[in-house]
Structure 1
Amino acid sequence: MEYTPETRQQLILCCECGTAIPPNPANMCVNCVRSIVDITEGIPKQATVHWCKNCERYLQPPATWLVCELESRELLALCLKKLRGLVKVRLIDAGFIWTEPHSRRIKVKLTIQKEVFTATILQQSFEVEYVVSSMMCPDCTKVMAQNTWKAMVQVRQKVDHQRTFFYLEQLILKHNAHLETINIKEVKGGLDFHFAQRAHAIKMVEFLGNMVPTRSKSSEQLISSDIHNGTSNYKFTYSVEIIPICKDDLVVMPKKMANALGQIAPLALCTRVGNSVHLIDPKTLQTAEVTGFTYWRQEDINSISGRRDLKQFYVVDVDLLGPRAGRFALADVTIQRMADVGKNDNVVIVRSHLGNMLNFGDMVLGYDLLTANINDEYYEKLNPDDIPSVVLVKKTYPERRRKRKPRNWKLKSLNKDEGELVPKKQEQEKLEVDFETFLRDLEEDPELRQSINLYKDNSAATNTAGAMESDMDDDDDEGELPEVPLEELLDDLKIADDSEAEDDIQMDMA
């Protein structure tokens, strides 16, 4: 190649060291410019980031706590915001330098540019080391420290079972009413919800009142006061009592109260408990609703028999009478006590609302009022002709079939603190029985399932296959067990973070 005057590059000498360099406005080489001007001056080479070891969040001043994975863009942005002098230069590149995760050190390599002289831009790379300092965030401090709650909601029900709280727990999970709680504690007869703010406790009280009939009262306790600025610190307690009437309870009320509810019979059966209590007269299919305000105003409705008083009967005959009310149909049902089956011909004919649910050979649960010992003032005032011998409640199934049939669904539960309440062996067995009864109610009552979320249990797939084989081999089964349809079940999804999601996408593409 021949060099011509046009292609020949002219060089000049650096005014500091005399090195031949291409012409530039500073007339200096790069080394001499760097020796005279340091563009990293004013940018700290060491800094501190605060990290909560309990929830693994990083502090973004002044009071924001963020969840950041190691070597993530969020963590890099947080680290760069700690460097105050970075606004005076132009950031070209930034990246992490690998460090041992347990070293509590984060190293970042930065490349910056700055105009040092007229039309002279200098680029330089340097490292910044961050020390990870442990510091508990305010949310974790409130949870770990004692006496940090601002308001508490005490939920109680004066019954001898826990089925209502199992149902209430599922309602809370479905509507995410527990997100603002800092602690949920199990106590005898109910639950205690602790909140950091009074408004959150009031919101929980309103939620419970919309779900089940309740009454509440509040109290406050002075913790501290400042006479100089006139401020005081209080703790608020809200006591919520749930109506002591549950599904399938037999209730009795005075004649005046029954007439006010549409002249329903004083002896009625509770079929459902929502934001009001639904009653039905098994002899006429007449229904009535009792709101919480109506009940708490006089408390004239007493529950005289519950689930633990139910007896098993054998259905001999069903004679439908025609009248219907929703899912119930009136019928004369001929039944026999289980103790008399195969021994004598003693039968009882009762009028029931379960006419369309029973057939010959079925098992049914009911209240045997002929042998029951009921001590209630309203019950004693009833006309003996108005008291049926047996009140049928629901269809049941043999226990041997119950145990052999696995469930393909499951429920979620709240993260509760047992505290000082350690159930004894008998109490634990009673709790398991109540929970099993609640699960059976969900299988048998589609209306009850609509208000809560049920999830698919993939772990029960193999057990279900084995159970199906045993069902085919068994020839003496009587009827079909109620099951939850697959279309009513939700997938138990777990939300993965961005890194896991990207890995899944790459695997799918591969």
Structure 2
Amino acid sequence: MCKRVEYLRNQFLPLQAIYVSTAMAGESGMFTVQQTVGSVLCCKCGILMAPNAANMCVKCLRSEVDITEGLQKHVIIIHCPECDCYLQPPRTWIKAQLESKELLTFCVKRLKNLNKVRLIHAEFIWTEPHSKRIKVKLRVQKEVLNGAVLEQAYMVEYVVQDQMCESCSRVQANPDQWVAAVQLRQHVSHRRTFFYLEQLILKHDAAVRAIRIKQLDHGIDFFFANRSHAVKFVEFIQKVVPIKSRHDKQLVSQDTKSNNYNYKYTFSVEICPICREDLVCLPPKLAASLGNLGPLVICTKISNSIALLDPLTLRNCFLDAEQYWRASFSSLLSSKQLVEYVVLDVDPISSEVNVGGSKYVMADIQVARVSDFGKNDTMFLVRTHLGHLLNAGDYALGYDLHAANNNDMELDKYKGLVIPEVILVKKSYEEKRQKKRGKARSWKLKSLNMEVDVSETRGRVDEEKMDNEYELFLRDIEENPELRFNISLYRNKEYQASEVASVTDGEDVPSVPLEELLDDLKLNDNVAEEDVDDDEGMKE
């Protein structure tokens, strides 16, 4: 009886609204009809609702139709714990991190019959990393009774089962079993190039597919389980340093019946022996092709090309790998032969000039060797490109050509060449570093997991020499912002902030700004778990 009265009242309200609006229009001389939204009763439970194609409310429609019926709620996926890859049947392995877009796409593609509904939204529900469960919340739409569109959310649980892929299984069975090896070599007396390459490899994850890395006396060996991985690694090295490479293969086994052959591939990569801050004497033919540059030039930068600068004229050039290996010259003097000088007087002779992205100022500088103080009064008047950095009383590092015994064949080809007595290379901060020696840095670098081959060095691994070269590499990073641009620096948690006050006595010493440092990313285990939202709606 009450439902009948409510129904008649709903039918009477629109007529009453029209009557009131008609009476008001008669008084004002206008006739308007006010439209109202009608409502109907649900054919199942009889509650008042907005009309729709099914004439049923959301709860009744949900009880009648379940659009997630027939869709998978539980799926088993195969995960390789060694290389962190997931199996895409039948034999494809996909690398994906937890809660990444790649993993979400992989999980959605593993669902069957999902094409029967329309996928609206998908997101991860947080679970414990060690639970071996991945939960994904999906929101789907489907057309149901009489054209009505029903939207519903449901959860899919993926059970992760660990199983090693074929390549990882071979590695675990025999760690020495490799298919391709890349041998990096550089014939110089230091390892600064390999320290720099190590940071580039870490930043770009170039050696992530390497199954083993071995450190040798004059280089590093990388071993891969697939030839394509080695080829990709060689292409990366070719983009960052000038190299020449050749490859060879050795037959391991063969099956004449099925015509299958197994090879081991070896890639021999030789890195250009020219390093940053080296003094180079250009061959006459190469100097003529470069517009009579030099011939004594300084290497200012190494990338996939070699940047050379004439310190007496501020002319520069870039040599790519093909041009260098065609001429194939060596360094006249290396950075290990730098001599420390003290600056007595500075006389700039030009304004600031931008050469190859770096700023220089030509100046005539009077210097004296630090080792001559108290012994003699030998002084040198030199022309240098460091007039914007050096002032009277500063220290500088340069090459002492006055006392050097040069045995370079390219230098002997120049007849009547006037060789300067001193060529300055960079400003020295050794005196100021003495005050802060032994104190920890606020930053640190990561390193590759390499095994050292002691037999290759005949048991005479000079750890002190390695530590000294690594310390010089860290100083180069502090002094050269361009060098820091290509590598990743991380905050040192062991560094005490109270030490900053004690370092103020070593002012003007280059350091790494705090804004250039990165934090080590770690998973936070105290993340609150999200609940499943079961809200459902209906759209036409």
- TM-score using structure 1 length: 0.69
Q: In structure 1, what residue type is equivalent to 2:264? A: K
- Shift in Å, 1:139: 4.2
- Shift in Å, 1:302: 2.0
- Shift in Å, 1:152: 1.0
- Shift in Å, 1:289: 1.0
Change (3 A) 1:155 1:345: same
Change (3 A) 1:262 1:465: farther
Q: Which range moved further: 218-227 or 262-271?
A: 262-271
- CA distances 1:50-77 after superposition (whole Å, capped 9, x unpaired): 99897899999977999999xxxx9xxx
Tell me which residue corresponds to 1:157.
Answer: 186
Counterpart pick for 1:465 among 495, 498, 503: 498
Provide the secondary structure at the position in 2 that maps to 1:228: coil
C-alpha contact 2:454 2:460 (8 A) present in aligned 1: no
Q: Does 1:339 align with 2:339?
A: no
- Shift in Å, 1:345: 3.2
- CA distances 1:309-360 after superposition (whole Å, capped 9, x unpaired): 1111001111111152332211111101112224443210101111101111
Tell me, in whole angstroms, the C-alpha distance in 2 between the residues paired with 1:368 and 1:352: 14
Tell me which residue corresponds to 1:416.
Answer: 450
Tell me which residue corresponds to 1:502.
Answer: 527
- CA distances 1:111-151 after superposition (whole Å, capped 9, x unpaired): xxxxxxxxxxxxxxxxxxxxxx9986534433331442111
- Shift in Å, 1:295: 0.9
C-alpha contact 2:283 2:327 (8 A) present in aligned 1: no
Q: In structure 2, what residue type is equivalent to 1:281? A: D
Query: Aligned pairs, how many?
Result: 391
Change (3 A) 1:503 1:336: same
Tell me which residue corresponds to 1:309.
Answer: 337
Change (3 A) 1:194 1:390: same
The residue correspondences of 1:87-486 to structure 2 (distance < 5 A) are 138-144=166-172, 145-299=174-328, 301-323=329-351, 324=353, 325=355, 326-383=358-415, 385-397=417-429, 398=431, 399-421=433-455, 427-460=462-495, 462=496, 464-466=497-499, 468-471=500-503, 474=505, 479-486=507-514
| Structure 2: 5+ residue stretches without partners | 1-76, 111-129, 131-160, 532-540
Tell me, in whole angstroms, the C-alpha distance in 2 between the residues paired with 1:134 and 1:453: 33
Change (3 A) 1:135 1:369: same
Q: In structure 2, what residue type is equivalent to 1:414? A: L
Change (3 A) 1:140 1:333: same
The residue correspondences of 1:27-106 to structure 2 (distance < 5 A) are none
- Shift in Å, 1:215: 0.5
C-alpha contact 2:180 2:265 (8 A) present in aligned 1: yes
Q: In structure 2, what residue type is equivalent to 1:435? A: Y
Q: In structure 1, what residue type is equivalent to 2:223? A: H
Tell me, in whole angstroms, the C-alpha distance in 2 between the residues paired with 1:434 and 1:212: 20
Change (3 A) 1:255 1:222: same
- TM-score using structure 2 length: 0.66
Tell me, in whole angstroms, the C-alpha distance in 1 between the residues paired with 2:200 and 2:97: 32
Q: In structure 1, what residue type is equivalent to 2:236? A: F
C-alpha contact 1:188 1:421 (8 A) present in aligned 2: no
Change (3 A) 1:251 1:402: farther
Q: In structure 2, what residue type is equivalent to 1:502? A: V
Tell me, in whole angstroms, the C-alpha distance in 2 between the residues paired with 1:205 and 1:52: 26
Tell me, in whole angstroms, the C-alpha distance in 1 between the residues paired with 2:228 and 2:422: 49
- CA distances 1:165-186 after superposition (whole Å, capped 9, x unpaired): 1100111111111111111111
- CA distances 1:12-34 after superposition (whole Å, capped 9, x unpaired): xxxxxxxxxxxxxxxxxxxxxxx
Provide the secondary structure at the position in 1 that maps to 2:388: coil
Tell me, in whole angstroms, the C-alpha distance in 2 between the residues paired with 1:52 and 1:279: 48
Provide the secondary structure at the position in 2 that maps to 1:318: strand
Provide the secondary structure at the position in 2 that maps to 1:370: coil
Tell me, in whole angstroms, the C-alpha distance in 2 between the residues paired with 1:233 and 1:59: 25
Q: In structure 2, what residue type is equivalent to 1:307? A: S
C-alpha contact 1:409 1:457 (8 A) present in aligned 2: yes
Tell me which residue corresponds to 1:488.
Answer: 516
Q: In structure 2, what residue type is equivalent to 1:366? A: G
Tell me, in whole angstroms, the C-alpha distance in 1 between the residues paired with 2:262 and 2:488: 39
% identical aligned pairs:
44
Change (3 A) 1:161 1:505: farther
Tell me, in whole angstroms, the C-alpha distance in 2 between the residues paired with 1:243 and 1:65: 37
Tell me, in whole angstroms, the C-alpha distance in 1 between the residues paired with 2:302 and 2:484: 13
Provide the secondary structure at the position in 2 that maps to 1:459: coil
Tell me, in whole angstroms, the C-alpha distance in 1 between the residues paired with 2:479 and 2:90: 54
Provide the secondary structure at the position in 1 that maps to 2:323: helix
Provide the secondary structure at the position in 2 that maps to 1:159: coil
Change (3 A) 1:395 1:135: same
Change (3 A) 1:256 1:135: closer
C-alpha contact 2:181 2:223 (8 A) present in aligned 1: yes
- CA distances 1:275-329 after superposition (whole Å, capped 9, x unpaired): 1111111111110111110011131x22011111111100111111115233221
- Shift in Å, 1:414: 1.1
Tell me, in whole angstroms, the C-alpha distance in 2 between the residues paired with 1:337 and 1:420: 40
Tell me, in whole angstroms, the C-alpha distance in 2 between the residues paired with 1:469 and 1:485: 16
Kindly indicate whether structure 1 or structure 2 has the higher relative contact order, using CA contacts under 8 Å at least 6 residues apart: 2
C-alpha contact 1:214 1:242 (8 A) present in aligned 2: yes
Change (3 A) 1:199 1:345: same
- Shift in Å, 1:265: 0.9
Over the residues paired in the alignment, what is the CA RMSD in angstroms? 3.4
Change (3 A) 1:349 1:405: farther
Tell me, in whole angstroms, the C-alpha distance in 1 between the residues paired with 2:435 and 2:461: 25
Tell me, in whole angstroms, the C-alpha distance in 1 between the residues paired with 2:410 and 2:449: 42
Tell me, in whole angstroms, the C-alpha distance in 2 between the residues paired with 1:230 and 1:312: 66
Q: In structure 1, what residue type is equivalent to 2:166? A: P
